[in-house]
Amino acid sequence: MKNVKLKIKEAQRKDQKAFNELFDNHWSYLYSFQLKKTSNAELAEEISIITFARAFDRIATFDDQYEFKTWLVTISKNIYNDLVRKQKNKINLKTLSYPEDLQEFSTEDQPSPEEIMITNENLDALFEKIKSLKKDYRKILQLRFFEGLSYKEISIKMDQPINTVKVKLLRAKNLLNQKIINDPE
């Protein structure tokens, strides 16, 4: 990835491609960190998704004298600590509170060339790849691409904050893209 600080500046100006690059280049590191901490793949993934949602929501507050990875890990640790405290009170992960509105996260609800390409793929092969994803990811892709719902509508339908929907959709698209690349037929 080009200069991380440059990508952060672009993300602070609401550049969706910059958000995607930051996500792509830091997902594995953050997920691995949480997987080591929690020893639970689903929990590590959920904490990582929430971390990116919070980070993208608060990208304007990032201080570039620090490393971006360090900032993400700090957010991630705080989410984990919140979870541990809340679990003691029998509250599950979905009740963690964070801002529900991330209006400026994406440039618009316009499909990208990648989204257009995905919808034009051989549907049978594409459906098989989608079926191999986790239930949440299958559902979010279906709502977005096949039912044409907006982020807000998906948020309501899935009863999840809009920023979580956006990060999960990004993650689902990345996983689907990997499946398409690895098995192009």
Average pLDDT, the chain: 79
pLDDT for 153-180, tens place per residue? 998 999 988 878 888 888 888 888 888 7
Domains and CATH numbers, the chain: 4-95 (1.10.1740.10), 113-182 (1.10.10.10)
Nearest one of 62, 60, 87 to 74, comparing CA atoms: 62
CA–CA dist 162, 153 (Å, integer): 9
In the predicted model, residues of the chain with pLDDT beneath 70 are: 1-2, 88-124, 184-185
